[in-house]
């Protein structure tokens, strides 16, 4: 059976959830072979094996942390040369897409980004992409070379599928370009204790109607009652009420949770682009004419300062 390379996104050996989703998709096409790089690479093996990796290729060097993107491209290229895979899957983070694109160019292969589904096809893997602010769905494939495909978080379920997960050292020779862009300082993002926005099953977002940074406490309280991540519209971020890392929309994060709760968000195209593929959508807005209500499964026309705290209290009561 053909092998499928899966690039592992991890933090010091802790595998991030989108990589496990990639293993689910990789098993539809062939046998997953994982590539883990940098500090803690070998520590990823147990988790990856539980989710279907037959092999885990690892390599650690200071270059992965000290220089941007290119060392990882060099390593993934070495893995492609070693394995001759049927496809290469990479998580669709900003960095993941850059790695995938450069790799594809080097190995003379087409690249597809931001797939939301993947299945085997007669002419290679077929990716589903959601385009034009999720108003269209396309089926696409790579027609030249080894398909390199980046996949968005929440595109597949994480499934247990125990496999050997044998750790093998990957031989990597860094290219002349590897040390071109130096990372001179790195400040880890402070953990909020909430789920990662793009990975969360539930997202609770606030927009212009929240009307102030302090008022986001109401949104956070609802999020915490549901174990959800907090999102914000561009209007709220531009006003300085919430950090840009939490922005949902075309120029922020694109999310696809089981449940999306939009509070005081009108639903402009810029926002819809980032949340329209959510499974269930709920909105609270004062304006009955707000376009967000065209998308909802359930909407409440009302003042979020009345509705949201009541909802939070009700959720907490029901949880007991």
Q: Where in 53-72 is the site for other proteins (CB under 8 A)?
A: 68-70
Q: Is 130 a residue that touches other proteins (CB under 8 A)?
A: yes
> Least CB distance from residue 110 to other proteins, whole Å?
3
Helix (H) or strand (E) run with residue 88 in it: strand 87-91
Q: Is 159 a residue that touches other proteins (CB under 8 A)?
A: no
> Least CB distance from residue 169 to other proteins, whole Å?
25
Cβ pair 14, 45 in contact under 8 A: no
Which residue number, 159 or 313, has a Cβ lying nearer to other proteins?
313
Placement of tokens 């997960």 in the chain? 165
Q: Encoding tokens for residue 155? A: 């595109």
> Least CB distance from residue 256 to other proteins, whole Å?
13
Q: Choose among 57, 84, 82: nearest CA to 3.
A: 84
> Least CB distance from residue 304 to other proteins, whole Å?
9
Q: Report the residue from 62, 162, 258, 287 that binds other proteins according to the rule CB under 8 A.
A: 258
Q: Report the residue from 80, 112, 118, 204 that binds other proteins according to the rule CB under 8 A.
A: 112
Site for other proteins in 262-291 (CB under 8 A): 269-270, 273, 276, 280-282, 284, 288
How many residues make contact with other proteins (CB under 8 A)?
93
* Residue 230 to residue 246: CA distance in whole angstroms: 7
Q: Is 39 a residue that touches other proteins (CB under 8 A)?
A: no
Q: Is 173 a residue that touches other proteins (CB under 8 A)?
A: no
* Residue 133 to residue 130: CA distance in whole angstroms: 7
Q: Choose among 135, 125, 141: nearest CA to 85.
A: 125
Which residue number, 56 or 142, has a Cβ lying nearer to other proteins?
142
Q: Is 82 a residue that touches other proteins (CB under 8 A)?
A: no
Helix (H) or strand (E) run with residue 202 in it: strand 202-206
The dihedrals phi and psi of 84, each to the nearest 5 degrees, come to 45, 60
Q: Is 183 a residue that touches other proteins (CB under 8 A)?
A: yes
Site for other proteins in 210-239 (CB under 8 A): 226
Paired sense of beta strands 111-119 and 126-131, if any: antiparallel
Q: Report the residue from 2, 62, 81, 139 that binds other proteins according to the rule CB under 8 A.
A: 139
Q: Look at the chain and count its residues.
A: 320
Placement of tokens 């092998």 in the chain? 3
Q: Is 186 a residue that touches other proteins (CB under 8 A)?
A: yes
Which residue number, 54 or 233, has a Cβ lying nearer to other proteins?
233
DSSP for 28-47, written as a single string: HHSEEEEEEESTTGGGGHHH
Cβ pair 79, 187 in contact under 8 A: no
> Least CB distance from residue 60 to other proteins, whole Å?
18
Q: Is 309 a residue that touches other proteins (CB under 8 A)?
A: yes
């Amino acid at each position: 059976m053909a092998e499928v390379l899966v690039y592992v996104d991890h933090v010091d050996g802790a595998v991030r959830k989108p990589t496990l989703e990639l293993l689910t998709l990789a098993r539809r096409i062939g046998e997953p072979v994982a590539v883990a790089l940098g500090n803690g690479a070998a520590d990823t093996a147990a988790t990856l094996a539980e989710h279907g990796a037959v092999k885990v290729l690892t390599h650690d060097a200071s270059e992965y942390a000290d220089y941007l993107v290119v060392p990882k491209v060099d390593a993934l290229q070495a893995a492609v040369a070693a394995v001759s895979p049927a496809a290469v899957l990479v998580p669709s983070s900003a960095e993941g897409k850059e790695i995938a694109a450069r790799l594809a160019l080097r190995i003379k292969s087409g690249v597809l980004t931001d797939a939301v589904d993947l299945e085997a096809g007669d002419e290679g893997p077929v990716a589903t992409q959601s385009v034009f602010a999720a108003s269209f769905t396309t089926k696409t494939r790579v027609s030249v070379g080894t398909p390199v495909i980046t996949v968005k978080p929440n595109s597949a379920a994480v499934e247990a599928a125990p496999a050997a997960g044998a750790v093998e050292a990957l031989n990597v020779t860094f290219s002349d370009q590897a040390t071109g862009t130096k990372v001179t300082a790195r400040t880890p993002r402070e953990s909020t204790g909430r789920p990662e926005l793009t990975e969360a099953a539930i997202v609770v977002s606030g927009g212009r109607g929240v009307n102030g940074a302090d008022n986001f406490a109401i949104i956070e309280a609802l999020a915490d009652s549901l174990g959800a991540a907090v999102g914000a519209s561009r209007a709220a971020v531009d006003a300085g009420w919430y950090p840009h890392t939490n922005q949902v929309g075309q120029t922020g994060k694109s999310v696809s949770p089981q449940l999306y709760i939009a509070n005081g968000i009108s639903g402009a195209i810029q926002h819809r682009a980032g949340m329209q593929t959510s499974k269930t959508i709920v909105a609270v807005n004062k304006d009955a004419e707000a376009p967000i209500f065209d998308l909802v499964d359930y909407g409440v026309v009302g003042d979020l300062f009345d509705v949201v705290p009541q909802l939070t209290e009700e959720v907490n009561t029901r949880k007991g």
